[in-house]
Amino acid sequence: MTDTTGPLVAADGTPLKRKLAQAMFRSRARAFGLVFPLVAFVIAAFIIPIVALLWQSVHDPRFANLMPLTTIELAKWDAVSPPTEAMAAAVVADMIVAKKNKTIGRVATRVNREVSGARSLFTKSGRSAATLEAPFMEALIAKDKKWENIKIWEGMKIASKVYNPGYLASALDMRYTADGSIVRQEEDRRIHIMLFARTMEISLIVTIACFVLGYPIAYLLSTLTTRTSNLLLILVLLPFWTSLLVRTTAWIAMLQAQGVMNDLFVVFGIATDTDRFSLIYNKTGTLIAMTHILLPFMILPLYSVMKTIPVSYVRAAKSMGATNWTAFWRVYFPQSVPGIGAGALLVFILAIGYYITPALVGGQDGQMISNIIDFHMRKSLNWNLAAALGLVLLVFVMFLFWLYDRLVGIDNMKLG
Protein backbone atom coordinates (compact mmCIF):
# COMPACT_ATOMS: atom_id res chain seq x y z
CA MET A 1 0.00 0.00 0.00
CA THR A 2 2.57 2.52 1.14
CA ASP A 3 4.69 1.92 -1.96
CA THR A 4 2.06 2.89 -4.48
CA THR A 5 0.67 5.94 -2.67
CA GLY A 6 4.08 7.28 -1.53
CA PRO A 7 5.11 10.73 -2.67
CA LEU A 8 6.50 11.19 -6.14
CA VAL A 9 10.26 11.48 -6.06
CA ALA A 10 12.79 13.12 -8.36
CA ALA A 11 15.72 11.27 -9.92
CA ASP A 12 17.95 11.89 -6.86
CA GLY A 13 15.32 10.50 -4.49
CA THR A 14 14.04 13.78 -2.93
CA PRO A 15 10.27 14.26 -3.05
CA LEU A 16 9.15 16.12 -6.14
CA LYS A 17 7.13 18.58 -4.07
CA ARG A 18 10.20 19.70 -2.17
CA LYS A 19 12.26 19.89 -5.34
CA LEU A 20 9.64 22.13 -6.90
CA ALA A 21 9.52 24.32 -3.81
CA GLN A 22 13.29 24.69 -4.00
CA ALA A 23 13.18 25.79 -7.62
CA MET A 24 10.29 28.18 -6.92
CA PHE A 25 12.05 29.60 -3.90
CA ARG A 26 15.07 30.53 -5.98
CA SER A 27 13.04 32.45 -8.52
CA ARG A 28 10.96 34.07 -5.79
CA ALA A 29 14.07 35.11 -3.94
CA ARG A 30 15.43 36.66 -7.12
CA ALA A 31 12.21 38.58 -7.71
CA PHE A 32 12.13 39.71 -4.11
CA GLY A 33 15.78 40.77 -4.34
CA LEU A 34 14.92 42.95 -7.31
CA VAL A 35 12.02 44.76 -5.63
CA PHE A 36 13.60 44.85 -2.20
CA PRO A 37 15.33 48.25 -2.58
CA LEU A 38 12.04 49.85 -3.59
CA VAL A 39 10.10 48.18 -0.79
CA ALA A 40 12.72 49.19 1.76
CA PHE A 41 12.69 52.73 0.46
CA VAL A 42 8.91 53.02 0.60
CA ILE A 43 8.78 51.56 4.09
CA ALA A 44 11.59 53.72 5.44
CA ALA A 45 10.75 56.98 3.72
CA PHE A 46 6.99 56.78 3.53
CA ILE A 47 5.19 54.26 5.68
CA ILE A 48 7.19 54.47 8.92
CA PRO A 49 7.15 58.30 9.12
CA ILE A 50 3.44 58.46 8.31
CA VAL A 51 2.50 55.80 10.83
CA ALA A 52 4.80 57.39 13.43
CA LEU A 53 3.20 60.79 12.94
CA LEU A 54 -0.36 59.46 12.90
CA TRP A 55 0.44 57.51 16.05
CA GLN A 56 0.89 60.84 17.81
CA SER A 57 -2.79 61.58 17.31
CA VAL A 58 -3.69 59.07 20.04
CA HIS A 59 -0.41 58.66 21.92
CA ASP A 60 0.94 61.47 24.08
CA PRO A 61 3.22 60.26 26.89
CA ARG A 62 4.76 63.66 27.64
CA PHE A 63 2.94 64.44 30.87
CA ALA A 64 3.07 60.87 32.19
CA ASN A 65 6.83 60.69 31.58
CA LEU A 66 7.66 64.05 33.12
CA MET A 67 5.23 63.93 36.07
CA PRO A 68 5.21 60.20 36.98
CA LEU A 69 4.06 60.50 40.62
CA THR A 70 1.28 62.93 39.75
CA THR A 71 0.10 60.60 36.99
CA ILE A 72 -0.29 57.74 39.46
CA GLU A 73 -2.21 59.92 41.93
CA LEU A 74 -4.43 61.42 39.22
CA ALA A 75 -5.38 57.95 38.00
CA LYS A 76 -6.86 57.28 41.46
CA TRP A 77 -8.86 60.51 41.45
CA ASP A 78 -12.47 60.50 40.21
CA ALA A 79 -12.36 64.09 38.85
CA VAL A 80 -15.40 65.01 40.98
CA SER A 81 -14.31 65.02 44.62
CA PRO A 82 -11.91 67.76 45.79
CA PRO A 83 -8.23 67.19 44.91
CA THR A 84 -6.42 65.37 47.71
CA GLU A 85 -3.29 66.17 49.67
CA ALA A 86 -1.56 63.15 48.11
CA MET A 87 -2.09 64.67 44.66
CA ALA A 88 -0.65 67.99 45.80
CA ALA A 89 2.37 66.26 47.32
CA ALA A 90 2.96 64.34 44.08
CA VAL A 91 2.71 67.53 42.02
CA VAL A 92 5.25 69.29 44.22
CA ALA A 93 7.67 66.32 44.15
CA ASP A 94 7.38 66.04 40.34
CA MET A 95 7.78 69.78 39.86
CA ILE A 96 11.02 69.84 41.84
CA VAL A 97 12.47 67.16 39.55
CA ALA A 98 11.03 68.79 36.40
CA LYS A 99 12.47 72.16 37.41
CA LYS A 100 15.90 70.59 37.91
CA ASN A 101 15.75 68.82 34.52
CA LYS A 102 14.34 71.94 32.84
CA THR A 103 11.32 70.02 31.64
CA ILE A 104 8.75 72.06 33.57
CA GLY A 105 8.07 74.14 30.45
CA ARG A 106 7.04 71.05 28.51
CA VAL A 107 4.63 70.04 31.26
CA ALA A 108 3.29 73.60 31.32
CA THR A 109 2.74 73.63 27.55
CA ARG A 110 0.90 70.33 27.66
CA VAL A 111 -1.50 71.31 30.45
CA ASN A 112 -2.02 74.76 28.93
CA ARG A 113 -3.60 73.05 25.90
CA GLU A 114 -6.36 71.90 28.23
CA VAL A 115 -6.59 74.93 30.54
CA SER A 116 -5.45 78.39 29.49
CA GLY A 117 -3.26 79.99 32.11
CA ALA A 118 -1.80 76.71 33.34
CA ARG A 119 1.45 77.60 31.66
CA SER A 120 2.48 80.49 33.91
CA LEU A 121 1.06 78.63 36.92
CA PHE A 122 3.47 75.75 36.36
CA THR A 123 6.53 77.78 35.48
CA LYS A 124 5.94 80.08 38.46
CA SER A 125 5.14 77.33 40.94
CA GLY A 126 8.03 75.27 39.59
CA ARG A 127 10.50 77.95 40.60
CA SER A 128 9.40 77.85 44.24
CA ALA A 129 8.47 74.15 44.45
CA ALA A 130 11.63 73.21 46.35
CA THR A 131 10.81 75.63 49.18
CA LEU A 132 7.26 74.34 49.80
CA GLU A 133 6.45 72.37 52.97
CA ALA A 134 3.58 70.10 53.95
CA PRO A 135 0.63 70.39 53.87
CA PHE A 136 1.27 70.83 50.18
CA MET A 137 -2.23 71.70 49.03
CA GLU A 138 -2.31 74.79 51.27
CA ALA A 139 1.26 75.65 50.33
CA LEU A 140 0.43 75.54 46.59
CA ILE A 141 -2.69 77.64 47.03
CA ALA A 142 -0.74 80.12 49.13
CA LYS A 143 1.68 80.48 46.21
CA ASP A 144 -1.07 80.85 43.62
CA LYS A 145 -4.86 80.88 44.02
CA LYS A 146 -5.25 79.08 40.68
CA TRP A 147 -4.40 75.76 42.39
CA GLU A 148 -7.81 75.99 44.06
CA ASN A 149 -9.46 75.77 40.68
CA ILE A 150 -10.56 72.19 40.00
CA LYS A 151 -10.18 72.88 36.24
CA ILE A 152 -6.39 72.83 36.65
CA TRP A 153 -6.57 69.35 38.19
CA GLU A 154 -8.98 68.18 35.53
CA GLY A 155 -6.63 69.51 32.86
CA MET A 156 -3.76 67.56 34.41
CA LYS A 157 -5.88 64.41 34.55
CA ILE A 158 -6.64 64.70 30.84
CA ALA A 159 -3.00 65.43 30.04
CA SER A 160 -1.84 62.43 32.07
CA LYS A 161 -3.57 59.93 29.76
CA VAL A 162 -0.88 58.34 27.59
CA TYR A 163 -3.43 56.96 25.13
CA ASN A 164 -5.52 60.03 24.68
CA PRO A 165 -8.64 60.27 22.53
CA GLY A 166 -8.69 64.04 23.14
CA TYR A 167 -6.96 65.00 19.92
CA LEU A 168 -9.20 62.95 17.68
CA ALA A 169 -12.22 64.31 19.54
CA SER A 170 -10.93 67.82 19.04
CA ALA A 171 -10.40 67.14 15.32
CA LEU A 172 -14.13 66.40 15.16
CA ASP A 173 -15.09 69.51 17.20
CA MET A 174 -15.61 67.56 20.37
CA ARG A 175 -13.96 67.67 23.76
CA TYR A 176 -12.62 64.91 25.94
CA THR A 177 -13.36 65.64 29.59
CA ALA A 178 -11.64 64.60 32.79
CA ASP A 179 -14.35 62.06 33.69
CA GLY A 180 -13.74 60.27 30.40
CA SER A 181 -16.78 61.39 28.45
CA ILE A 182 -16.73 63.16 25.10
CA VAL A 183 -18.90 66.25 24.66
CA ARG A 184 -19.35 68.80 21.89
CA GLN A 185 -16.96 71.73 21.74
CA GLU A 186 -18.31 75.17 22.65
CA GLU A 187 -19.99 76.93 19.77
CA ASP A 188 -17.37 79.65 19.18
CA ARG A 189 -14.55 77.11 19.06
CA ARG A 190 -16.08 74.71 16.53
CA ILE A 191 -14.16 74.89 13.30
CA HIS A 192 -12.93 71.55 11.96
CA ILE A 193 -16.19 69.96 10.77
CA MET A 194 -17.00 73.13 8.88
CA LEU A 195 -13.54 73.13 7.31
CA PHE A 196 -13.84 69.48 6.30
CA ALA A 197 -17.18 70.30 4.67
CA ARG A 198 -15.73 73.32 2.91
CA THR A 199 -12.74 71.30 1.72
CA MET A 200 -15.19 68.78 0.22
CA GLU A 201 -17.25 71.53 -1.36
CA ILE A 202 -14.27 73.30 -2.93
CA SER A 203 -12.80 70.01 -4.19
CA LEU A 204 -16.12 69.00 -5.74
CA ILE A 205 -16.65 72.35 -7.44
CA VAL A 206 -13.08 72.35 -8.76
CA THR A 207 -13.49 68.79 -10.08
CA ILE A 208 -16.73 69.66 -11.86
CA ALA A 209 -15.28 72.88 -13.26
CA CYS A 210 -12.20 71.02 -14.51
CA PHE A 211 -14.44 68.45 -16.19
CA VAL A 212 -16.67 71.03 -17.87
CA LEU A 213 -13.70 73.03 -19.12
CA GLY A 214 -11.41 70.09 -19.84
CA TYR A 215 -13.73 67.75 -21.74
CA PRO A 216 -14.17 69.91 -24.86
CA ILE A 217 -10.45 70.73 -24.91
CA ALA A 218 -9.49 67.07 -24.68
CA TYR A 219 -12.03 66.25 -27.40
CA LEU A 220 -10.63 68.94 -29.65
CA LEU A 221 -7.06 67.75 -29.04
CA SER A 222 -7.94 64.15 -29.87
CA THR A 223 -9.78 64.95 -33.12
CA LEU A 224 -7.40 67.45 -34.71
CA THR A 225 -4.48 66.40 -36.90
CA THR A 226 -1.38 65.37 -34.98
CA ARG A 227 0.47 68.53 -36.04
CA THR A 228 -2.10 70.98 -34.71
CA SER A 229 -2.98 68.90 -31.67
CA ASN A 230 0.69 68.68 -30.63
CA LEU A 231 0.89 72.44 -30.86
CA LEU A 232 -2.23 72.84 -28.75
CA LEU A 233 -0.99 70.19 -26.32
CA ILE A 234 2.05 72.38 -25.67
CA LEU A 235 -0.36 75.10 -24.55
CA VAL A 236 -1.82 72.68 -22.01
CA LEU A 237 1.56 71.39 -20.88
CA LEU A 238 3.38 74.71 -20.61
CA PRO A 239 1.44 75.88 -17.55
CA PHE A 240 1.65 72.31 -16.23
CA TRP A 241 5.43 72.60 -16.22
CA THR A 242 5.42 76.05 -14.65
CA SER A 243 5.91 76.29 -10.91
CA LEU A 244 2.76 76.18 -8.83
CA LEU A 245 3.86 79.27 -6.91
CA VAL A 246 4.44 81.27 -10.07
CA ARG A 247 0.98 80.43 -11.38
CA THR A 248 -0.68 81.25 -8.06
CA THR A 249 1.06 84.63 -7.81
CA ALA A 250 0.18 85.32 -11.43
CA TRP A 251 -3.47 84.91 -10.46
CA ILE A 252 -3.00 87.47 -7.70
CA ALA A 253 -1.79 89.98 -10.29
CA MET A 254 -4.73 89.09 -12.55
CA LEU A 255 -7.54 89.12 -10.01
CA GLN A 256 -6.70 91.70 -7.37
CA ALA A 257 -8.74 94.88 -6.99
CA GLN A 258 -6.29 96.89 -9.11
CA GLY A 259 -5.46 93.88 -11.29
CA VAL A 260 -5.89 93.10 -14.97
CA MET A 261 -9.38 91.58 -14.77
CA ASN A 262 -10.86 94.37 -12.69
CA ASP A 263 -9.26 96.99 -14.96
CA LEU A 264 -10.91 95.29 -17.95
CA PHE A 265 -14.27 95.18 -16.14
CA VAL A 266 -14.00 98.90 -15.48
CA VAL A 267 -13.10 99.61 -19.13
CA PHE A 268 -16.12 97.63 -20.33
CA GLY A 269 -18.37 99.22 -17.72
CA ILE A 270 -19.16 95.97 -15.88
CA ALA A 271 -17.75 97.43 -12.67
CA THR A 272 -17.20 101.00 -11.57
CA ASP A 273 -13.79 102.27 -10.56
CA THR A 274 -14.81 102.75 -6.95
CA ASP A 275 -16.68 99.46 -6.64
CA ARG A 276 -14.50 96.72 -8.05
CA PHE A 277 -15.12 92.98 -7.73
CA SER A 278 -13.48 90.99 -4.94
CA LEU A 279 -12.08 88.13 -6.97
CA ILE A 280 -9.19 87.17 -4.76
CA TYR A 281 -8.44 86.61 -1.07
CA ASN A 282 -11.75 84.74 -0.81
CA LYS A 283 -13.36 81.50 -1.95
CA THR A 284 -13.75 82.75 -5.53
CA GLY A 285 -9.99 83.26 -5.76
CA THR A 286 -9.32 79.76 -4.42
CA LEU A 287 -11.77 78.21 -6.90
CA ILE A 288 -10.41 80.07 -9.93
CA ALA A 289 -6.74 79.45 -9.16
CA MET A 290 -7.22 75.78 -8.20
CA THR A 291 -9.31 75.03 -11.28
CA HIS A 292 -6.63 76.50 -13.51
CA ILE A 293 -3.82 74.69 -11.75
CA LEU A 294 -5.54 71.30 -11.72
CA LEU A 295 -6.98 71.49 -15.26
CA PRO A 296 -4.11 69.57 -16.92
CA PHE A 297 -4.71 66.66 -14.55
CA MET A 298 -8.17 66.36 -16.09
CA ILE A 299 -7.23 67.04 -19.71
CA LEU A 300 -4.31 64.63 -20.00
CA PRO A 301 -6.08 61.39 -18.93
CA LEU A 302 -9.15 62.41 -20.95
CA TYR A 303 -7.01 63.08 -24.00
CA SER A 304 -5.13 59.81 -23.81
CA VAL A 305 -8.40 57.85 -23.51
CA MET A 306 -10.15 59.78 -26.29
CA LYS A 307 -7.16 59.21 -28.55
CA THR A 308 -7.94 55.48 -28.48
CA ILE A 309 -11.64 55.82 -29.37
CA PRO A 310 -11.96 54.97 -33.09
CA VAL A 311 -13.69 57.70 -35.13
CA SER A 312 -15.44 55.00 -37.15
CA TYR A 313 -17.79 54.12 -34.24
CA VAL A 314 -19.43 57.54 -34.25
CA ARG A 315 -19.58 57.45 -38.05
CA ALA A 316 -21.22 54.06 -37.94
CA ALA A 317 -23.80 55.30 -35.46
CA LYS A 318 -24.63 58.28 -37.64
CA SER A 319 -24.85 56.14 -40.76
CA MET A 320 -27.49 54.14 -38.97
CA GLY A 321 -29.54 57.24 -38.36
CA ALA A 322 -28.39 58.55 -35.00
CA THR A 323 -28.45 62.30 -34.52
CA ASN A 324 -25.21 64.06 -33.57
CA TRP A 325 -26.29 64.13 -29.94
CA THR A 326 -27.34 60.47 -29.78
CA ALA A 327 -24.11 59.40 -31.49
CA PHE A 328 -22.12 61.37 -28.95
CA TRP A 329 -24.12 60.46 -25.88
CA ARG A 330 -24.74 56.76 -26.62
CA VAL A 331 -21.54 55.87 -28.45
CA TYR A 332 -18.70 58.31 -27.79
CA PHE A 333 -19.32 59.39 -24.22
CA PRO A 334 -19.50 55.91 -22.64
CA GLN A 335 -16.13 55.11 -24.16
CA SER A 336 -14.59 58.22 -22.62
CA VAL A 337 -15.84 57.38 -19.11
CA PRO A 338 -12.59 55.65 -18.01
CA GLY A 339 -10.78 58.91 -18.77
CA ILE A 340 -13.33 60.92 -16.83
CA GLY A 341 -13.00 58.55 -13.87
CA ALA A 342 -9.22 58.84 -13.85
CA GLY A 343 -9.22 62.61 -14.34
CA ALA A 344 -11.91 63.30 -11.77
CA LEU A 345 -10.32 61.08 -9.15
CA LEU A 346 -6.91 62.66 -9.75
CA VAL A 347 -8.23 66.20 -9.55
CA PHE A 348 -10.45 65.51 -6.56
CA ILE A 349 -7.78 63.80 -4.47
CA LEU A 350 -5.19 66.45 -5.32
CA ALA A 351 -7.70 69.19 -4.50
CA ILE A 352 -8.70 67.75 -1.14
CA GLY A 353 -5.14 68.08 0.16
CA TYR A 354 -4.44 71.41 -1.52
CA TYR A 355 -2.52 73.79 0.64
CA ILE A 356 -0.35 76.47 -0.93
CA THR A 357 -2.93 78.01 -3.26
CA PRO A 358 -5.67 78.49 -0.62
CA ALA A 359 -3.00 79.79 1.76
CA LEU A 360 -1.98 82.48 -0.74
CA VAL A 361 -5.27 83.48 -2.34
CA GLY A 362 -7.89 82.05 0.05
CA GLY A 363 -8.27 85.00 2.42
CA GLN A 364 -10.57 83.92 5.25
CA ASP A 365 -13.40 81.98 3.61
CA GLY A 366 -11.22 80.17 1.07
CA GLN A 367 -9.16 78.25 3.62
CA MET A 368 -9.15 74.46 3.59
CA ILE A 369 -8.45 71.79 6.20
CA SER A 370 -4.81 71.51 5.07
CA ASN A 371 -4.27 75.13 6.08
CA ILE A 372 -5.32 74.41 9.65
CA ILE A 373 -3.10 71.31 9.71
CA ASP A 374 -0.24 73.53 8.59
CA PHE A 375 -1.15 76.00 11.32
CA HIS A 376 -0.85 73.33 13.99
CA MET A 377 2.38 71.97 12.52
CA ARG A 378 4.18 75.29 12.17
CA LYS A 379 2.57 77.85 14.45
CA SER A 380 0.85 76.32 17.46
CA LEU A 381 3.25 73.32 17.50
CA ASN A 382 0.35 71.06 18.45
CA TRP A 383 1.56 68.15 16.31
CA ASN A 384 -0.79 65.74 18.05
CA LEU A 385 -3.82 67.66 16.85
CA ALA A 386 -2.29 68.07 13.38
CA ALA A 387 -1.81 64.29 13.25
CA ALA A 388 -5.39 63.72 14.37
CA LEU A 389 -6.71 66.03 11.64
CA GLY A 390 -4.49 64.25 9.12
CA LEU A 391 -5.82 60.89 10.25
CA VAL A 392 -9.43 62.02 9.89
CA LEU A 393 -8.67 63.36 6.41
CA LEU A 394 -6.90 60.13 5.43
CA VAL A 395 -9.76 57.93 6.64
CA PHE A 396 -12.21 60.16 4.84
CA VAL A 397 -10.32 59.98 1.52
CA MET A 398 -10.01 56.20 1.89
CA PHE A 399 -13.77 56.05 2.40
CA LEU A 400 -14.38 58.11 -0.75
CA PHE A 401 -11.99 55.88 -2.65
CA TRP A 402 -13.89 52.83 -1.48
CA LEU A 403 -17.19 54.49 -2.40
CA TYR A 404 -15.82 55.29 -5.85
CA ASP A 405 -14.75 51.69 -6.27
CA ARG A 406 -18.25 50.48 -5.34
CA LEU A 407 -20.07 52.95 -7.58
CA VAL A 408 -17.83 53.27 -10.64
CA GLY A 409 -15.25 50.54 -10.14
CA ILE A 410 -11.57 51.24 -9.84
CA ASP A 411 -10.79 48.95 -12.80
CA ASN A 412 -12.90 51.15 -14.99
CA MET A 413 -10.23 53.82 -14.98
CA LYS A 414 -7.52 54.51 -17.49
CA LEU A 415 -4.62 56.89 -17.24
CA GLY A 416 -3.73 56.37 -20.91
Partner 1 sequence: MILKTLLTGVAAAALLAGAASAGSITVVSWGGAYTKSQVEAYHKPWIAKTGNQVVSEDYNGGMAEVKSQVEAGNVTWDLVDVEMADAVRGCDEGLLEEIDSSILPAGADGTPAMQDFIDGTVTDCAVATIVWSTIFAYDNSVLANGPTTIGDFFDLAKFPGKRGMRKNPKANLEMALAADGVAAADIYTVLGTPEGVDRAFAKLDTLKGSVVWWEAGAQPPQLLADGEVVMTTAYNGRIFNAVAAEDKPFTIVWDAQNFDLDLWVIPKGAPNKDLALDFVAFSTATEQLAAQASYISYGPVRKSSAPLVGSFHNKPDLEMGPQMPTAPENFATAIQSDFVFWADNQDELNERFNAWLAK
Which amino acid is present at 274?
T
Candidate residues 19, 59, 119, 247; the one interacting with partner 1 per rule CB under 8 A: 119
Q: Which of residues 267-306 bind partner 1 (CB under 8 A)?
A: 281
- Confirm or reject binding of residue 112 to partner 1 (CB under 8 A): yes
Residue 397: Cβ-neighbour burial (10 angstroms; 0-12, 13-18, 19+): middle
CB closer to partner 1 out of 229 and 382: 382
- Residue 58 C-beta: closest distance to partner 1, Å: 19
Residue 377: Cβ-neighbour burial (10 angstroms; 0-12, 13-18, 19+): middle
Candidate residues 104, 221, 288, 347; the one interacting with partner 1 per rule CB under 8 A: 104
DSSP structural state of residue 175: E
- Confirm or reject binding of residue 213 to partner 1 (CB under 8 A): no
Candidate residues 120, 308, 323, 324; the one interacting with partner 1 per rule CB under 8 A: 120
3-state secondary structure of 168: helix
Candidate residues 68, 105, 165, 353; the one interacting with partner 1 per rule CB under 8 A: 105
- Confirm or reject binding of residue 59 to partner 1 (CB under 8 A): no
3-state secondary structure of 59: strand
CB closer to partner 1 out of 102 and 227: 102
Residue 50: Cβ-neighbour burial (10 angstroms; 0-12, 13-18, 19+): middle
CB closer to partner 1 out of 279 and 295: 279
Report d(CA 118, CA 107) in Å as an integer. Answer: 9
- Residue 363 C-beta: closest distance to partner 1, Å: 6
The piece of 161-169, 231-239, 363-371, 398-406 that touches partner 1 (CB under 8 A) is 363-371
- Confirm or reject binding of residue 102 to partner 1 (CB under 8 A): yes
Binding flags for partner 1, 79-98, as an x/- string (CB under 8 A): --------------------
- Confirm or reject binding of residue 113 to partner 1 (CB under 8 A): yes
193 phi and psi angles, rounded to 5 deg: -60, -45
In DSSP terms, which residues pair with 183 in a beta bridge? 175
DSSP structural state of residue 189: G
- Confirm or reject binding of residue 194 to partner 1 (CB under 8 A): yes
Which amino acid is present at 321?
G
Report d(CA 407, CA 260) in Å as an integer. Answer: 43
CB closer to partner 1 out of 48 and 381: 381
Q: Are 162 and 60 in contact (CB under 8 A)?
A: yes
How many residues form the binding site for partner 1 (CB under 8 A)?
A: 38
Length of the chain: 416
Q: Are 271 and 255 in contact (CB under 8 A)?
A: no
CB closer to partner 1 out of 108 and 287: 108
- Residue 138 C-beta: closest distance to partner 1, Å: 24
b/e per residue 217-245 (b: at least 16 CB within 10 A) = bbbebbeeeeeebeeebeebeeeeeeeee
CB closer to partner 1 out of 297 and 354: 354
CB closer to partner 1 out of 309 and 361: 361
- Confirm or reject binding of residue 149 to partner 1 (CB under 8 A): no
Q: Are 285 and 198 in contact (CB under 8 A)?
A: no
- Confirm or reject binding of residue 372 to partner 1 (CB under 8 A): yes
- Confirm or reject binding of residue 65 to partner 1 (CB under 8 A): no
CB closer to partner 1 out of 112 and 335: 112
In DSSP terms, which residues pair with 182 in a beta bridge? 176
185 phi and psi angles, rounded to 5 deg: -65, 155
The piece of 236-244, 250-258, 330-338, 388-396 that touches partner 1 (CB under 8 A) is 250-258
- Residue 207 C-beta: closest distance to partner 1, Å: 22
Candidate residues 118, 140, 168, 206; the one interacting with partner 1 per rule CB under 8 A: 118
Report d(CA 226, CA 243) in Å as an integer. Answer: 27
b/e per residue 61-76 (b: at least 16 CB within 10 A) = ebbbebbebbbebbee
Binding flags for partner 1, 5-44, as an x/- string (CB under 8 A): ----------------------------------------
- Confirm or reject binding of residue 239 to partner 1 (CB under 8 A): no
Q: Are 360 and 249 in contact (CB under 8 A)?
A: yes
First to last CA, the chain: 60
- Confirm or reject binding of residue 117 to partner 1 (CB under 8 A): yes
**Residues at the interface with partner 1 (CB under 8 A):** 102-106, 108-109, 112-113, 116-120, 123, 188-191, 194-195, 198, 256-258, 281, 363-365, 367, 372, 375, 377-382
